């Protein structure tokens, strides 16, 4: 198991290196993309462009450019935004990260608990009317686009009912936990719910299908024949094997969301996280910020993937290398 963890970690480093190279080429070396032009602003003279190329090292060999870029991202952390001269990109991402992490952690907690409850209930109530009702609810949750759902939630909580039922709710935006835990919670409660609804639906359906599949396995019959209680059979035998798919899905989704995948939720609710930063960089075509955000996101996905693989091996001994 330990060698597996070490090997998996080393592999993660390799993957991250490859990602930085690929991202660098996509943003700076794709034909037609000229960073100098992006930096220079509207209608620059050729002379200005040449100056910028020298200033930013764009006339140096490729590997030097790559090395300089990586150095300014990872070591010096002084990569400068192209659209907003003087703004340092890396500190900006790091100051945006807590908002995103708060949003995603809270939402994932909600969706895991609710999805396990819903999926287990639906599997347990199979054959009754409640199973299809739960599954249709899940399907509706999956089908709601998050930008629409978020707007509707805002319309209700910030608009129509803001004077009565939701008068306690602060205005849109993120308050850090350190500033005020209560405000932090109040500001995030609806974004959490909105973000988690899609995943609740998805995970509940996946879990239900897996539970039903595992329930008819021979080893579940063995567990009953051993005299175990129904509860123990469910918790220790059925759920554990059913969670294998659940965990791998979760790792990927969590990584993607932390890496900026919650962009729609963040924009709709005005939470200045990594997704919001991406959104702004996209609007301004800010190549430096975009690249940093993409690398940041990719790192989280790769990291989450590695954790999933390790968790997977912990859950299922059959995939552990011997």
Partner 1 sequence: MTLPLLDIRDLKVTFRTDDGLVRAVDGVSLTLGEGETLGIVGESGSGKSVTMMSVMRLITDPNAKFEGEVLYKGTNLMALPQDRIRSIRGSGISMIFQDPMTSLNPVYKVGWQIEEQIREHEKISKRAARQRAIDLLTAVGIPNASERVDAYPHEFSGGMRQRVMIAMAVSCNPDVLIADEPTTALDVTIQAQILNLIKKLKDDFGTAVVLITHDMGVVADMADRIAVMYAGRIVEQGTQRELFYDPQHPYTWGLLGSIARLDRPRPRRLAAIPGLPPSLMNLPAGCSFAERCAYRFGRCGEERPDLLDRGSGHLDACFLSTQEKQQIRNPTIHPELVEEKP
Which of 8, 15, 16 shows the shortest CA–CA distance to 70? 16
Per rule CB under 8 A, is residue 229 in the interface with partner 1? yes
DSSP 268-305: HTT--SHHHHHHHHHHHT-HHHHHHHHHHHHHHHHHHH
CB of 241 or CB of 289, closer to partner 1? 241
Q: Is 225 in the site for partner 1 (CB under 8 A)?
A: yes
Site size with partner 1, rule: CB under 8 A: 23
**Shortest distance, CB of residue 215 to partner 1, whole angstroms?**
9
Binding mask 113-142 for partner 1 (x = CB under 8 A): --------------x---------------
Q: Is 205 in the site for partner 1 (CB under 8 A)?
A: no
Q: Nearer to partner 1 by C-beta: 71 or 320?
A: 320
Give the three-class secondary structure for 43. coil
Tell me the HSE value of 149 on the side-chain side, using a 13 A CA sphere.
19
What is the x/- site pattern for partner 1, positions 290-319, by CB under 8 A? -------------------------xxxx-
- Please identify, using beta-carbon distances, which residue of 163 and 218 lies nearer to partner 1: 218
Q: 159 is written with which tokens?
A: 């608009």
Q: How far is CA 158 from the centre of its chain?
A: 26
Give the CA distances from residue 200 to residues 197, 278, 311, in Å, rounded to whole numbers and listed in that order.
Answer: 5, 25, 21
Closest alpha carbon to 254 in 109, 96, 94: 109
Query: Which lies closer to partner 1 via its Cβ, residue 243 or residue 281?
Result: 243
The residues near 162 (Cβ < 8 Å, ≥ 6 apart) are 169
User: Min. distance of Cβ 227 from partner 1 in angstroms?
Assistant: 3
Q: Which stretch binds partner 1 (CB under 8 A): 27-35, 101-109, 178-186, 219-227?
A: 219-227
Kindly state the smallest distance separating residue 275's Cβ from partner 1, in Å.
36
Contact between 95 and partner 1 per CB under 8 A:
no
Contact pick of 72, 241, 265, 289 for partner 1 (by CB under 8 A):
241
DSSP 79: P
* Burial zone of 159 (CB within 10 Å; 0-12 exposed, 13-18 middle, 19+ buried): exposed
> How many residues appear in the chain?
322
Which residues contribute to the site for partner 1 (CB under 8 A)? Answer: 127, 217-219, 221-230, 232, 236-237, 240-241, 315-318
């Amino acid at each position: 198991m330990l060698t597996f963890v070490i090997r998996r970690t080393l592999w993660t480093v390799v993957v991250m290196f490859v990602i930085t190279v690929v991202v660098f080429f996509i943003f700076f070396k794709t034909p037609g993309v000229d960073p100098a032009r992006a930096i220079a602003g509207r209608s620059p003279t050729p002379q200005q462009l040449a100056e910028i190329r020298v200033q930013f090292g764009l006339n140096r060999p490729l590997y030097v450019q790559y090395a300089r870029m990586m150095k300014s991202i990872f070591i010096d952390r002084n990569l400068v935004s192209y659209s907003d001269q003087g703004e340092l990109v890396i500190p900006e991402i790091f100051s945006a990260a807590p908002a995103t992490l708060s949003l995603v952690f809270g939402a994932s907690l909600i969706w895991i608990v609710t999805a396990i409850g819903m999926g287990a209930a639906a599997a347990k109530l199979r054959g009754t009317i409640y199973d299809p009702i739960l599954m249709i609810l899940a399907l509706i949750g999956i089908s709601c686009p998050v930008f629409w759902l978020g707007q509707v939630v805002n319309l209700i909580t910030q608009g129509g009912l803001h004077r009565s039922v939701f008068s306690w709710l602060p205005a849109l935006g993120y308050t850090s936990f350190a500033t005020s835990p209560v405000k932090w919670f109040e500001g995030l409660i609806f974004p959490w719910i909105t973000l988690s609804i899609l995943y609740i639906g998805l995970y509940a359906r996946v879990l239900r299908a897996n539970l039903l599949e595992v329930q008819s396995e021979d080893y579940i019959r063995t567990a009953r024949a051993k005299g175990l209680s129904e509860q123990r059979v469910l918790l220790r035998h059925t759920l554990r094997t059913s969670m294998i798919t659940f965990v791998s899905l979760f790792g990927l989704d969590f990584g993607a969301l932390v890496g900026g995948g919650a962009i729609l939720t963040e924009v709709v609710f005005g939470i200045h996280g990594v997704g919001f930063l991406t959104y702004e960089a996209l609007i301004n075509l800010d190549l430096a910020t975009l690249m940093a955000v993409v690398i940041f996101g990719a790192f989280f996905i790769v990291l989450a993937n590695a954790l999933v693989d390790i968790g997977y091996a912990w859950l299922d001994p059959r995939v552990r290398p011997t």
